[in-house]
């Protein structure tokens, strides 16, 4: 009766529900909402620590007159345009091959391709720096089989340094996308392929007209998460170039530039926060564009 007079048992459970989720909401507010709001406020400041002062829109105006920012933005977009399609396509091809039940050693290859995703980042960076050194195993092998006449300067030439980063990212994260494709392929009803085979549909046509359309949701998902990861690229570049983004900023990304602005090279917290919101805007725009294009294709 007391519960009824106070609003009934529904209100009792409502209060208990809010009490149950309150700790989680508090942590989200503390570690997500507060940093987002504070960083937005910082983007209108200049300097660091107690020396910060209100700068209005000066940081935004500074972006387009900052050659290092332009270089970092160009590099980041280059990684997005080149690396994401390669990684998505390669993951789809590998998943299609591993989906063949007649493939010998299928479990071994699946594990081997996915293993780089869970490998220690430091270990994998050291491995890559050694393999792609001027006298490393990659150059030695390419010279031995006659593909190149002289060693490639993977870590000292701007073009080849950028190519090395793309190779490293692709090698590390292709297996992650492959797992999604492989799971989706194994959930496709095999009778669909059997009917198409009986009707004389060739293998390539079955892949393009049956497999690809059925994988569209997974392709969209992996494209979006790969886009977000590439635009936030930091770890691989930091470890391969010792935090410098060299040579001559050829591999510098927006995330690494934010790190340098915050902790190195005359730190400016306000300007670093402004650059971080460039990444936020890019991620939002590209994700929206990808969802929009996917919806238009469905129509």
Bridge partners for 45 per DSSP: 54
Q: Is residue 203 domain-shared with residue 229, that is, in the same domain? A: yes
**Count of CB atoms situated within 10 Å of the CB of 157:** 15
Instruction: Give the model confidence (pLDDT) of 24-82 as tens digits.
Output: 888 877 787 888 888 888 888 877 665 677 777 888 888 888 999 999 999 999 999 99
Q: 10-14, 74-78, 126-130: lowest mean pLDDT where?
A: 10-14
d(CA 172, CA 166): 10
Instruction: Give the model confidence (pLDDT) of 83-125 as tens digits.
Output: 999 999 999 999 988 888 888 888 888 888 888 888 888 888 8
Q: Range of 40's domain?
A: 9-55
pLDDT of residue 4: 43
Residue 296's pLDDT band (cuts 50, 70, 90) = low
Q: Note whether residue 299 is domain-resident.
A: no
Residue 2's pLDDT band (cuts 50, 70, 90) = very low
Burial tier of 137 (Cβ tally within 10 Å: 0-12, 13-18, 19+)? exposed
Q: Give the count of domains, the chain.
A: 2
Instruction: Give the model confidence (pLDDT) of 148-182 as tens digits.
Output: 888 899 888 889 999 999 998 888 889 999 999 99
Q: Note whether residue 3 is domain-resident.
A: no
Give the residue-averaged pLDDT of 251-280.
87
Q: Is residue 160 domain-shared with residue 208, that is, in the same domain? A: yes
HEC-encoded secondary structure of 119-168:
CCHHHHHHHHHHHCCCCCHHHHHHHHCCCCCCCCCCCCCHHHHHHHHHHH
Closest CA to 155 of 143, 138, 173: 138
Q: Is residue 32 domain-shared with residue 114, that is, in the same domain? A: no
Q: Note whether residue 1 is domain-resident.
A: no
pLDDT of residue 76: 93
Q: Is residue 264 domain-shared with residue 224, that is, in the same domain? A: yes
Q: Is residue 28 domain-shared with residue 149, that is, in the same domain? A: no
Which of 264 and 223 is assigned the larger pLDDT?
223
Residue 135: which residues within 8 A CB-CB, separation 6 or more? 151
pLDDT of residue 13: 55
pLDDT of residue 90: 94
pLDDT of residue 204: 85
Average pLDDT in the chain: 84
């Amino acid at each position: 009766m007391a519960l009824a007079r106070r609003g009934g048992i529904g209100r009792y459970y409502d209060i208990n529900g809010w009490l149950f989720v309150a700790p989680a909401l508090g942590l989200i507010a503390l570690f997500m909402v507060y940093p987002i709001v504070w960083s937005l406020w910082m983007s209108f400041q200049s300097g660091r620590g107690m020396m910060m002062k209100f700068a209005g829109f000066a940081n935004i105006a500074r972006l387009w007159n900052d050659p290092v920012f332009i270089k970092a933005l160009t590099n980041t977009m280059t990684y997005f345009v080149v690396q994401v399609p390669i990684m998505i396509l390669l993951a789809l091809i590998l998943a299609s091959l591993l989906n063949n039940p007649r493939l010998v050693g299928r479990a071994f290859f699946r594990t081997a391709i996915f293993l780089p995703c869970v490998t220690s980042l430091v270990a994998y960076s050291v491995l890559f720096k050694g393999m792609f050194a001027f006298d490393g195993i990659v150059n030695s092998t390419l010279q031995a089989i006659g593909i190149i006449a002289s060693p490639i300067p993977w870590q000292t030439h701007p073009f080849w340094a950028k190519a090395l980063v793309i190779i490293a990212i692709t090698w590390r994260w292709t297996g992650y996308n492959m797992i999604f494709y492989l799971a989706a392929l194994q959930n496709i009803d095999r009778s669909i392929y059997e009917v198409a085979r009986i009707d004389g549909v060739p293998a390539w046509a079955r892949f393009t007209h049956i497999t690809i359309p059925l994988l569209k949701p997974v392709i969209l998902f992996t494209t979006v998460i790969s886009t977000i990861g590439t635009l936030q690229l930091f770890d691989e570049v930091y470890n391969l170039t010792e935090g410098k983004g060299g040579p001559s900023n050829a591999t510098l990304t927006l995330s690494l530039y934010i790190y340098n602005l915050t902790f190195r090279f005359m730190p400016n917290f306000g300007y670093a926060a402004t650059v971080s919101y460039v990444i936020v805007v890019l991620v939002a725009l590209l994700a929206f564009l990808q969802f929009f294009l996917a919806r238009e294709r469905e129509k």
